[in-house]
Chain A
Amino acid sequence: QKEVEQDPGPLSVPEGAIVSLNCTYSNSAFQYFMWYRQYSRKGPELLMYTYSSGNKEDGRFTAQVDKSSKYISLFIRDSQPSDSATYLCAMASTGANNLFFGTGTRLTVIP
């Protein structure tokens, strides 16, 4: 079993829709949770960074962490065609220097 599981999609939604992306994990030592966006032929770009459980909002993006269920989510409101990309969840333990990534979910927002 991989430490981080993520549905690879692909996911297609109409412009303006609310998008929900999710990851589950097995390592209870993970304390840091991140969402990255990756455009084709580019490196990942950090979108959201959360420590431990709870919610964090930044503009149209909301990240949620439920450590009791080992489940994290990213919500995108009012999705735009420019949001079309692969979204990667990533996690790390306290004191760690490396990230564990999910496989990524490819999202397409249709105008």
Chain B
Amino acid sequence: DTGVSQNPRHKITKRGQNVTFRCDPISEHNRLYWYRQTLGQGPEFLTYFQNEAQLEKSRLLSDRFSAERPKGSFSTLEIQRTEQGDSAMYLCASSPPGTGVGGYTFGSGTRLTVV
């Protein structure tokens, strides 16, 4: 598989529960990004990893959100105490060294519904 893989594809949770999403980037890609996309809007940047280091976080990433990339390969995004406003598509992207913003490959996303 040469694409960015995200699991699960769809998650329905009750308000207040914790959820965790996983992203497996393309194997040779050292950069990994998380974005959030709400209905009718474009993706919004959440956070960026280079290898295992989290180098950038958006103001959108409140203290209920945490992202990790422990061995520089797959990444997880956890949302604690989910709220209805967290309902969105969570997109992961990766890029190889030296390509910058022009080298993104996005996954198909995890759609979160908070009821």
**What is A's interface to B at a CB cutoff of 8 Å?**
4, 6, 8, 32, 34, 41-46, 49, 88, 90, 92, 96-104
B42 touches A103 (CB 8 A): yes
**What is B's interface to A at a CB cutoff of 8 Å?**
4, 31, 33, 40-45, 48, 55-56, 58, 91, 93, 100-102, 104-109, 111
Q: Which of A43, A88, A90, A100 has the most chain B CB atoms inside 10 A of its CB?
A: A43
B40 touches A101 (CB 8 A): no
Q: Given B93, B101, B104, which contacts A96 in the complex, CB threshold below 8 Å?
A: B101
Closest Cβ of chain B: how far from A80's Cβ, in Å?
Answer: 23
| Chain A hits for B91, CB < 8 A | 43-44
Bound Cα distance A46, B93 (Å): 12
B44 touches A101 (CB 8 A): yes
B33 touches A32 (CB 8 A): no
A98 touches B104 (CB 8 A): no
| Chain A hits for B40, CB < 8 A | 8, 103-104
A92 touches B107 (CB 8 A): no
Closest Cβ of chain A: how far from B24's Cβ, in Å?
Answer: 13
Residue of B nearest to A4 (CB): B42
Bound Cα distance A42, B105 (Å): 12
